[in-house]
Amino acid sequence: MEPRVLGFRMITCFKNLYELLPFNAEVDKNELLAWLVRQDDKGRLAALIDHENIQDYTTVRELISGSIDKQLINKGKQVWGDKAPNLQHYLNDLMLLMPEAKILHIVRDGRANAYSMSTRSYRHLALSAQQWMNGNVFGLVNRQILGAENYHLIRYEELLKQPELVAKNICSFLDIPYSVDMLNLAGEQYEKEASYVKNYFDQSKIDKWKQQLSRKQIQTIENIQGPLLQRLGYQLETPLADLKFKPLSLRRQIWYNQKDNLRQLFQAKRAGMKNKELIEFQRPFKTRAYLFLRTLARDLVALPIFKSLFSHLYFSKKEFESDKIKKEILP
């Protein structure tokens, strides 16, 4: 996950209180909360949350909003945001912590998305199509629950084709002034980058999936996504008479997921992003074996059992006291 993705870090950190408090009920609540923030992955959350002054806040909500306000003042900014893919699935958790949050949900054509997921993440094409469906159904329902004034849907293709119009709409949604500088993705670098992540609005990939996918593959995707594609304003390629709109059953989703899981166990090469480039890297077998067992368990065992097997959530009192002592003796 990208270093900028703090939405999940906050949700994970503060939900851990439900799991940890029963084992540490005698520990001061502020000390436990500060310890959780400090222990979060790679110190990213500790850089945002004002855990050194945690006693000044009455609630976790106040801690989060107060910490963000301090960051905005220190950096001379108006709005704090976080780019967190798939956060729409965890809206209840997010709104519990940040009830005044506004959500920008970007939708990409499901056929292009399914192709990208199946090739970059080595997923079955039909499963990739279904996962797009699942994620964007959440987006539509979330908007219906929160209202368009708090949950804003943006089509990726419109952002590329009409960036100024879309940017102005986003600014209006966030109640901030629009500036033409927002469209300058290159900063002081005026030449277009040839890297995978572009510094300009690249429209070349919008319809590229039409050449990358066969007619049969497109029909497979549209059989799953068809009604939602239409609802979001996308035109179908397959004649309606040839389509049988039907989402993948849970049984078939698990079957495809575990087939992919088994294949990836023996696939050392993997694609990933580094310095704006899509590169291949090698994964050691130990890592692949752990991920294989984790994915297998997630589909086949109950959530409490899965968490007990694969979560690093629990810590001993000795670890807590050791961290506390370390903090006191270090300069």
* pLDDT tens per residue across span 243-288: 999 999 999 999 999 999 999 999 988 877 777 677 788 899 999 9
Tell me if 209 sits within 8 A of 115, measured CB to CB: yes
Instruction: Decide: 268 and 283 in contact? Cβ < 8 Å.
Output: yes
pLDDT value for 200:
81
Tell me the CA distances in angstroms from 170 to 35, 67, 163, 243, 308, one per residue in order. 37, 24, 10, 36, 42
Tell me the helix, strand and coil percentages in the chain, rounded to 5. Answer: 60, 5, 35
What is the CB-side half-sphere exposure of residue 21 using CA atoms within 13 A? 10
Convert the pLDDT of each residue in 26-42 to its tens digit: 888 898 899 889 888 77
Q: What's the pLDDT score for residue 40?
A: 82
Give pLDDT tens digits for 146-155. Answer: 999 999 999 9
Distance CA 290, CA 245 (A): 36
pLDDT computed for residue 271 by the predictor: 76
Q: What is the mean pLDDT of residues 215-233?
A: 96
pLDDT number for residue 331: 40
Give the percent of the chain with pLDDT over 90: 61
Q: How confident is the model at residue 93 (pLDDT cuts 50, 70, 90)?
A: very high
Burial per residue of 145-157, b for 16 or more beta-carbon CB atoms within 10 angstroms, e otherwise = ebeeebbbbbbbb
Mean pLDDT of the chain: 87
* Amino acid identity, position 19: E
Q: Which residue has the tokens 């939405």?
A: 7
Give the residue, 196 or 72, on which the prediction is more confident: 72
Are the C-beta atoms of residues 222 and 238 closer than 8 Å to each other?
yes
Contacts of 200 (CB under 8 A, 6+ apart): 185, 186, 192, 193
pLDDT at residue 225 tops 80: yes
Length of the chain, in residues = 331
Q: Quote the pTM value.
A: 0.85
pLDDT on residue 303: 83
pLDDT at position 307: 78
Model pLDDT, residue 329: 44
* Domains of the chain listed by start with CATH number: 102-183+208-248 (3.40.50.300)
Rounded Cα distance between 302 and 176, Å, is 45
Q: What is the pLDDT of residue 5?
A: 80
Beta-carbon contacts of residue 32 (< 8 Å; ≥ 6 apart): 17, 20, 21, 24, 320
Q: What pLDDT score was predicted for residue 1?
A: 38
Burial group, residue 315, by CB count within 10 angstroms (0-12, 13-18, 19+): middle
- Indicate the pLDDT class of residue 323, thresholds 50, 70 and 90: low
- 158 versus 311: the higher-pLDDT residue is 158
Q: What is the pLDDT of residue 4?
A: 57
**313 closest CA partner among 7, 17, 79:** 17
**Residue 19 pLDDT class (50, 70, 90 cuts):** confident
Which tens digit of pLDDT belongs to each residue from 39-65? Answer: 887 788 999 999 999 999 999 999 999
pLDDT at 194 over 70: no
Supply the pLDDT for residue 317.
Answer: 54
